[in-house]
Each structure stands twice: as C-alpha cells, then as structure tokens.
Amino acid sequence: MFYLNGLFNLPIVVDFVLQVAWLRVDTQTILTIATHVITKNHRIAVTHSGHRAWSLHIRETRKTDSGWYMCQVNTDPMSSITGFLEVVVPPDILDYPTSTDMVVREGSNVTLRCAATGTPEPTVTWRREAGGTISLSNWQAGSIVGPELEITRITRLHMGPYLCIASNGVPPTVSKRILLTVHFQPMVWIENQLVGGYEGQTVTLECRSEAHPSPITYWTKPSNETIANDENYKVETIPKGLYEILMKLVIKSVRAQDFGTFRCVATNSLGETDGKIKLYRIDKPPTTRRPGSRRESKKTWKSDHNHEKKAVGMKDDPMLKGDDIGDEQIEFQSATASSSFHRHLFINFGITTMTVILASGLST
C-alpha cells in the first residue's frame, strides 16, 4: 500500500457563525461538523481560520481516498460546494505475471510480459539494457511500448538483458531487468582452409566459433588424435563476445606428421560442429638454405665477398636492395602460392633472414 502525505483544501467563506460540515459524497458519510471530527477515520482533521475559511485535512492519503468531497453550510436554503480528490500512485511492477529470466532455443517465439500498476495507469516501455535496437519480425526500434514484447523467430542477436520500464508521470519510474538467453548449436567459421608450411616452421591455425551455452572445444591432428598443450602444440581459446570465441592452434615446429587435415571441434548441449584446415607442405624459403645450395644464394654469397672489407656498412649493403630482392620475391611467390597477406609476410621474413646470413658471412 502506498501512502502520500497530502492536504485537501476546499476553502469556503461564511458571513455569520454557521455550522460547516464536510462530507464524503460517494459514501454519503459525514466527516466533520464544525470543529468536530465525526468519522472514525483518524487520518481526518479539520481546521479553520476565524469562521470564514474551513479546511479538511487527510493525512497519509491512500488511493481509496480518491473521490468527491462536499463542504456544506447550514444556511436556508443549504449551500454547498464539491471537489474531486485524485490520489496518484507511482508505478509498481508486479512479480507475477511479469516474466522472469528466460532461456529459449534459437528460432522459437518468445513473449516477455511486464505487469505494472499505478494511478494513473502506467505506460510500459521495453529497452535493451546495453542499448541498441530490438529487432522484431519486420521492423526494429530502440524502444517498444506495451505490456508485452513479442519476438518471433528469435536469434542469438536477441540475447541479453532487457528492461521493462513503467512510468505514469508520478515519480519514481520503476524498471525490471529480464535476461533473455538464447541457446544454439555451435557454428564454426574458417578463413583459411588451406595453409602452407614447411618443416620447422611455426604455424598458427584459426577457427571462429559461435555457440551458446559456451562450447567445449578441441583440435585434432591429421591422425585424428585430440591435441593437448605440449612441447609441439599450443591450444588457445579466446572469448570474443557473449557467444563468440576464437580457437587458435599453434604448431610450434611443423613435423612431417603435421601435413594433413586438422579439425577444430566445438560441442555444447545442442550439438557438435567441426571445421577442417589442411596444412600442406611448401618449400622452405631459400634464405634459410645453406649458402651455395642454389644459384641465388651463390650470387648473394659472391656479392657478399665483394663487400667483405666494409663490414661496418653491413646493414646498408646494396645487395639487400634491387635485383637480389627481386629474385627473392619471385622465389617466395612460387614457393607459397598463398594469399597476398602471406606473401607479404614471407617477403619481410626473407629480408630479415638475409641480414643474418650476411652477418655470419662477414664475421668469418
């Protein structure tokens, strides 16, 4: 029950000393006569200033005090005046039948309910706690008005906390938080399904997965064995949001048995999904070959000897630029036949390695 301290005042001016009475119209009850309180309602009082102005006071006003009140003066004929008292009540949200937190399957239909009371009747508005829009079947809005929020064919994008806010112009406005959880089977995305690598190289394989509840994830080797973190492999799972994760497998140093198909697997209570990544063999970049094993390297070695005396200028050695780099680039492209991103990586890698070889060549 809500109480509001209030004052109800219908001043009436009388010329002679006359009896003034206050009545409740709807119940036909006499409340006060002159300075006497007739009703048993202890919240009622009467005051006057002189005999010209009379006031009826109601303490701890309740909603039931709303109604018509009359002030009567016993003149002949009787004179009276009536007034209406409206007691306003700030909004409240009822626990029942207001929805509680819900867990639903993706694709199902859901109705969130919010039952609010108050006087005047409150308006119910729905919002997402995190902001953003609520998507309904054929439209979307930042807020939706009405006691029911009906979402058809729910998706994972609907997941999250919702607020139902009840307001009627009488403060305070109240709200209730309802958490909507959407369950769905894991999904797996792979950007590079073919990855080239050479023995001894460190290679990282990546899968993105969406699932809720959070999945159990693992990787399998080409031999179909499950991979554990050890000296050869490092498995990482990085959360990327409410239901997204990035699965990473680092092959620390590729071995012959690693060429083949790796699988990333995500499992939850609704199912299991996997993705396949094939690691194929490429030639080792030539810069890591031993000097003299190839034409380009011989050339490099020779030009290196030509500059043997100026060891100080090693890093600026002209052989790091121009024709020799061109040779390297062609070599890498044919070796990797991969995306431009990989090509770029390999070129940089090649240059870095070249510097190292030159340094060791010069020091001998």
Write the Ramachandran bin of 67: left for phi over 0, alpha for psi from -120 to 50, otherwise beta. left
Smallest distance from ligand NAG to CB 178, Å: 20
Largest distance between two CA atoms of the chain: 133
Please, which of residues 103-142 interact with ligand NAG by CB under 6 A?
108-109
Closest to ligand NAG by CB, 232 vs 261, is 261
Smallest distance from ligand NAG to CB 223, Å: 5
Smallest distance from ligand NAG to CB 225, Å: 9
Smallest distance from ligand NAG to CB 127, Å: 23
Tell me, what amino acid is at 321? K
Cα angle: 252, vertex 256, 258; to 5 degrees = 55
Smallest distance from ligand NAG to CB 138, Å: 11
> Whose structure tokens read 């006087």?
119
Smallest distance from ligand NAG to CB 224, Å: 4
Q: Mask: binding to ligand NAG, 22-61, rule CB under 6 A, as x and -?
A: ----------------------------------------
- Residues 362/304, Cβ–Cβ less than 8 Å: yes
Closest to ligand NAG by CB, 6 vs 222, is 222
Locate all alpha helices (DSSP H) within 278-339, ordered by sequence.
295-306, 323-336
Closest to ligand NAG by CB, 104 vs 242, is 104
Closest to ligand NAG by CB, 153 vs 240, is 153
- Distance (Å, whole) CA 275 – CA 339: 20
DSSP per-residue string spanning 239-275: E-SSSEEEEEEEESS--GGGSEEEEEEEEETTEEEEE
Tokens, residue 136: 């309904």
- Distance (Å, whole) CA 96 – CA 93: 9
Tell me, what amino acid is at 28? Q
The site for ligand NAG, by CB under 6 A, has a size of 5
Smallest distance from ligand NAG to CB 342, Å: 27
Helix, strand, or coil (residue 336)? helix
> Whose structure tokens read 């039952």?
115
Closest to ligand NAG by CB, 105 vs 305, is 105
Smallest distance from ligand NAG to CB 22, Å: 57
Please, which of residues 217-236 interact with ligand NAG by CB under 6 A?
223-224
Please, which of residues 309-338 interact with ligand NAG by CB under 6 A?
none
Smallest distance from ligand NAG to CB 107, Å: 7
- Residues 9/54, Cβ–Cβ less than 8 Å: no
Tokens, residue 210: 């969406």
Closest to ligand NAG by CB, 45 vs 190, is 190
The kind and range of the H/E element at 69 are strand 67-73
Please, which of residues 255-314 interact with ligand NAG by CB under 6 A?
none
By CB neighbour count within 10 A (0-12 exposed, 13-18 middle, 19+ buried), where does 302 fall? exposed
Closest to ligand NAG by CB, 75 vs 226, is 226
Closest to ligand NAG by CB, 21 vs 265, is 265
Among 152, 253, 257, 339, binds ligand NAG (CB under 6 A): 152
Closest to ligand NAG by CB, 41 vs 220, is 220
Write the Ramachandran bin of 148: left for phi over 0, alpha for psi from -120 to 50, otherwise beta. beta
| Residues at the contact surface with ligand NAG, assessed by CB under 6 A | 108-109, 152, 223-224
